[in-house]
Amino acid sequence: LGSMQTSGSKLCSCPSFKLREVASMYFTMIAVFLVILVVALQGSGPRRSDFPYKVPLDPQGLLELSWNVSYPEQAVNFQLLIRNLQFGLLFGMSDRGEFENADLAVLWSDGTNSYFGDAWSDAEGQLHMDSQQDYQLLGARRAPEGLYLLFRRAFSTCDPKDYLIEDGTVHLIYGILEKPVHSLQAINLSAIHGGLQRVQLLKPNITIPELPSDMKTMEIRAPDVVIPSQETTYWCYMVELPQGFPKHHIIMYEPVITAGNEALVHHMEVFQCAAEFDSFPPYNGPCDSKMKPDRLNYCKHVLAAWAMGAQAFYYPEEAGVAFGGPGSSRYLRLEVHYHNPLVFKGRHDSSGIRLYYTATLRRHDAGIMELGLVYTPVMAIPPGEDAFALTGYCTDKCTQLALPAAGIRIFASQLHTHLAGRKVVTVLSREGRERQVVNSDGHYSPHFQEIRMLKEVVAVFPGDELITTCTYNTQNRSQATVGGFSILEEMCVNYVHYYPQTQLELCKSAVDPGYLRRYFNLVNRFNDEEVCMCPQVSVPQQFDSVPWNAFNRDVLKSLYGFAPISMHCNKSSAVRFPVRTASLPRLPNKTPSCR
């Protein structure tokens, strides 16, 4: 059934009787259609291959979302499995997972009839019928495991009340109706059982490379973990490779989730330990435990990363990640994040990541390069900011010195900030002009970080610039947030995965510290409260004493936008390439057009 288009404004701003009447007829038609479908389509559920991406929406696994992406039609096809349907549900999207200002598909029942329609919520959380029905109901199917609801949404609808589906993170929200309701407007969003799930809806359409015949597998799994009865747990487990394990290439990896725990295993990572240590102690326990050996903190080199909703990760046929052999540590650390909001007790888990590797080395070793900002307190975000942007540069001078003449190819990316991060984007600039977006996430969440394959491989040549901008929200903070390693400090990083591997491991920047001292001097000239310029006072302490009026905020923004930068162009040995301080203009912002 296609969606029914209606003219006129939204119901809340232009309460037209005709619109209400037409919409009422539409919902009644949906009710009849839905009943007919459920009766007519009894049988087994849809084929799994039709909807390759899957994620549980709720911790109990009562709602399971599957989907596929049609790039030619610029639309997402959804399949929602409802295992225990009561009187309806809400499913939709919002900026950060709120039920206010949300774009929703609603299925509800008054006890006699069932209805389906496109709705939106206002800033107070009140539901409204959408005059432009863009969630298209495709069908419903009853199966032994529950009711399958099939519907579709275009990426962009040009409806101001609809969510624009873009690359990057999407905050999906759901709500379960446990009692009948007589109308859409009678649904009280604040009283329903609901939650959110983060996914990347627009998966790249990538051709899976042919895998070699000598491929082997290795499962990195923590054995029989009893998931702690608390909302959040990070579990660490050490693995040792066999003595004399030769160099191999990892060419693929995928998650291995214990059956029944799909809604609890939030994300997982496998880290390789530092090669300068001959051995690492065994460990199997919480990552924040006082019993965890300190040496495990030197296991930071990412080999594999998975987050809920992600599928198997394939490396390009030209490259693989090297592990084993001379100069490579035999020790790996598995880290599993359990999200247990219902505080289940006694749940056992042996989830992990399965590595696919080969002794037949591919043409190139894949490498990882850090882009963005140096971890330094000279980069700071004032308190009370809604959207404060900081930019880190990998300059043309650094790529000119460090990259081979044929360039490198970026095929995947993992964005990273701490708790205040809201948006991250990296762009490729050539000869002062933006040429390509490497990776962008306009709804970034620090609670959902995964290595994402890029839709297109990005070629970077000597003399190119890679510019990474992070946007932060500090509205709930009373003091400045400085750059650093603490979770309450901030980072702005893009770990790009590329080939062929080079000596360049870190290409980041920060504002020249001398210009920050000029900023503090300026604050002292125009404010009654003085920032101490004494050598013994740290930069974070100086930021804490700044009175954050509009003038001081604007001057800091200008400083970060136009002051010279200190460039860190580092080899894996931490030795820097000889790159001096540079000054860079910002590239103009682009706004997406509505097709």
The 10s digit of each residue's pLDDT in 27-81 is 444 444 444 344 334 444 445 568 989 999 998 889 999 999 999 999 999 999 9
Q: Name the amino acid, one letter, at 462.
A: P
Q: Does 148 participate in catalysis according to the annotation?
A: no
Q: What is the pTM of this model?
A: 0.82
Domains of the chain: 53-199 (2.60.40.1210), 215-362 (2.60.120.310), 367-511+567-571 (2.60.120.230)
The total of other beta-carbon atoms located within 10 Å of residue 91's CB is 22
339 a catalytic residue: no
pLDDT of residue 582: 57
Residues of the chain with pLDDT under 50: 1-46, 585-588, 592
Which burial class, exposed, middle or buried, applies to 361 when counting CB atoms under 10 A from its CB (0-12, 13-18, 19+)?
middle
Two tokens, residue 265: 């295993």
Is residue 150 within 8 Å of 78, Cβ to Cβ? yes
Rounded distance, CA 68 to CA 201, Å?
Answer: 8
In 3D, which of 520, 531, 195 has the Cα closest to residue 378? 520
Name the active-site residue from 234, 283, 298, 515: 234
- Cα→Cα distances 297→292, 506, 574, Å: 9, 19, 18
- Spot the catalytic one: 128, 298, 339, 416: 416
Polymer length in residues for the chain: 595
pLDDT of residue 476: 95
